[in-house]
């Protein structure tokens, strides 16, 4: 039986209607291997202010679990340097007494860590299904168009920003901009280029303040009942 299967195996691949396996696009455009860069020949060290912040971060963890501070310390290093070069990862690893390879593993797992240089404004456009259905492809193309040729801007396509109810969304550094149209993108990029910070959150055009239903309330519309509702009178 085994011999017969072995003989049939090549024919299965020849006659199968299924496509051959191919390399698939990653869910992020982050670099998954480390490349030495010229900047890694230099040294990295927290500034005096960030050293105080790092010590405050470490106080949140027991001494035997200092390695749990790797993520906030890597974030601190990235905010200081602008991105996360190998020398910064090595510094964080030595700072908390953690094997460097373990820190590399953390930095490559989380796509929020930029291991290649980015511009002053890191524009990340969500293109997961909810955002795609709401027009994120047009938003992405608008970002590329309005940011083209400006080294202060880095535009990336990312997966799930976690704000699906306000799709389509994009983030600029730490701020989210939601319920977007092409004109909204033009306004946001224009404000940033002019040195002004546009208001984060849903656009004024959407009429929303947060993540409430865009069409108004459809449930829980009655006046809330007060304390004691349907509670036995003898209690």
pTM for the whole structure = 0.73
What is the C-alpha separation between 194 and 27, in angstroms, rounded? 33
Write out the binding residues for [2Fe-2S] cluster. 126, 131, 160, 164
- The domain limits of the chain are 38-109, 121-206
Domains 38-109 and 121-206 equal at CATH topology level: no
Write out the binding residues. 126, 131, 160, 164
Architecture of the structural domain at 38-109 = Orthogonal Bundle (1.10)
CATH entry 3.40.30.10 includes domain 121-206? yes
Please, what's the b/e burial string for 205-214 (b: 16 or more CB within 10 A of its CB; e: otherwise)?
A: eeebeeeeee
Which pLDDT tens digits describe the chain residue by residue (235 residues)? 545 545 544 444 444 443 443 333 334 555 556 666 666 667 899 999 999 999 999 999 999 999 999 999 999 999 999 999 999 999 999 999 999 999 999 999 988 899 989 999 999 999 999 999 999 999 999 999 999 999 999 999 999 999 999 999 999 999 999 999 999 999 999 999 999 999 999 988 888 888 888 777 788 888 888 887 888 877 7
């Amino acid at each position: 039986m085994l011999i017969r299967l072995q003989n049939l195996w090549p024919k299965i691949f020849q006659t199968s209607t299924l496509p051959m396996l191919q390399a698939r696009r990653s869910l992020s455009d982050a670099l998954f291997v480390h490349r030495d860069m010229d900047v890694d020949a230099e040294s990295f060290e927290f500034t005096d202010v960030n050293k105080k912040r790092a010590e405050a971060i470490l106080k949140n963890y027991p001494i035997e679990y200092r390695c749990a501070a790797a993520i906030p310390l890597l974030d601190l290093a990235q905010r200081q340097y602008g991105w996360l070069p190998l020398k910064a990862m090595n510094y964080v690893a030595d700072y908390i007494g953690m094997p460097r390879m373990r820190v590399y593993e953390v930095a490559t797992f989380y796509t929020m860590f930029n291991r290649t240089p980015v511009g002053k404004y890191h524009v990340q456009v969500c293109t997961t299904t909810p955002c795609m259905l709401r027009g994120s492809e047009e938003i992405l193309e608008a970002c590329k168009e309005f940011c083209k040729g400006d080294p202060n801007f880095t535009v990336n396509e990312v997966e799930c920003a976690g704000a699906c109810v306000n799709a389509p969304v994009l983030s600029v550094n730490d701020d989210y901009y939601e319920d977007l149209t092409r004109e909204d993108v033009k306004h946001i990029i224009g404000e940033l280029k002019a040195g002004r910070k546009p208001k984060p959150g849903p656009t004024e055009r959407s009429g929303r303040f947060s993540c409430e239903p865009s069409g108004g309330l459809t449930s829980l519309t009655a006046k809330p009942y007060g304390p004691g509702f349907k509670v036995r009178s003898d209690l």
